[in-house]
């Protein structure tokens, strides 16, 4: 099992980039890409301004990230993803929509939260349809774990919010169990409950896939305990 100093990795790097995606990376990485070497990220410098910031972890092909960045030009959006094809797509999408409020880190989000983000600097963290790792022997690879919850809490502003969604009921139950047990977080829906699907949450590829398979969708929202 692929392992980092922080535990088993929540992903396997797979899939090939198309030529267009590789071209987008070559041309647009200097515009939107953020090199991460483990040092703290200076987000004010990277975005060239001070603004409320959203971090989306595992944005996949970036539908949600691009839609939100276009909808909220007053906010900054940091996307963290390891999948090269998705990074290529989102870079091309950001250029096509002429977005200036997006930056992309191609790296393990656990490490980015561990050393890259200052305490209290993030207004919103999004984790939509993370890999469910359905087999019991792989559950340790799930992104939502007690240690990672603590890293998210540390990064969140005191009035910040953590939003999650999944179409895999056992993972939804796991998320609630882990996050309800984190003393610094409050489940907005009440302990062991889910929120109704937010109407303004853009539909993503993996949500559509879940719906095609007949899965119910579970939305969760947590805020730092006052």
Ligand X SMILES: C[S@@+](CC[C@H](N)C(=O)[O-])C[C@H]1O[C@@H](n2cnc3c(N)ncnc32)[C@H](O)[C@@H]1O
Instruction: Report the interface residues with ligand X, using CB under 6 A.
Output: 10-11, 57-60, 80-83, 86, 108-110, 128-131, 143, 204-207
3-state secondary structure of 220: strand
What DSSP character marks residue 114? Answer: I
Shortest Å, Cβ 211 to ligand X: 12
Q: Which of 42, 131, 180, 219 is catalytic?
A: 131
Residues 6+ apart with CB under 8 A from 209: 167
Residue with tokens 């603004």: 51
Taking the least distance from each CB to ligand X, the nearer of 65 and 153 is 65
Report, in this order, helix, strand and coil percent for the chain, each rounded to 5.
40, 20, 40
Shortest Å, Cβ 26 to ligand X: 21
Taking the least distance from each CB to ligand X, the nearer of 86 and 224 is 86
CA distance 36 to 190: 37
Taking the least distance from each CB to ligand X, the nearer of 82 and 175 is 82
Question: How many C-beta atoms surround the C-beta of residue 118 within 10 A?
Answer: 12
Taking the least distance from each CB to ligand X, the nearer of 86 and 93 is 86
Whether 76 is catalytic is: no
Shortest Å, Cβ 58 to ligand X: 2
Shortest Å, Cβ 145 to ligand X: 11
Active site (catalytic) residues: 131
């Amino acid at each position: 099992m692929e392992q980092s100093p922080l535990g088993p990795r929540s992903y396997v790097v797979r899939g090939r980039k198309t030529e267009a995606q590789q071209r987008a990376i070559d041309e647009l990485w200097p515009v939107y890409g953020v090199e991460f070497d483990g040092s703290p990220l200076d987000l004010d410098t990277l975005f060239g301004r001070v603004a409320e910031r959203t971090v989306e972890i595992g944005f996949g092909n970036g539908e949600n990230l691009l839609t939100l960045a276009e909808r909220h030009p007053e906010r900054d959006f940091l996307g963290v993803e390891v999948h090269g094809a998705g990074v290529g797509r989102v870079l091309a999408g950001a250029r096509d929509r002429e977005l200036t409020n997006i930056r992309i880190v191609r790296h393990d989000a656990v490490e980015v939260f561990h050393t890259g983000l200052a305490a209290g600097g993030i207004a919103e963290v999004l984790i939509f349809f993370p890999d469910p790792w359905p087999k019991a022997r792989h559950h340790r690879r799930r992104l939502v774990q007690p240690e990672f919850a603590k890293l998210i809490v540390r990064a969140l502003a005191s009035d910040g919010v953590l939003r999650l969604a999944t179409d895999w009921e056992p993972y939804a139950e796991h998320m609630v169990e882990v996050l309800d047990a984190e003393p610094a977080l409050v489940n907005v829906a009440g302990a062991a409950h889910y929120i109704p699907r937010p109407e303004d949450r853009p539909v993503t590829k993996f949500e559509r896939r879940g719906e095609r398979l007949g899965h119910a969708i579970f939305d969760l929202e947590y805020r730092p305990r006052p």
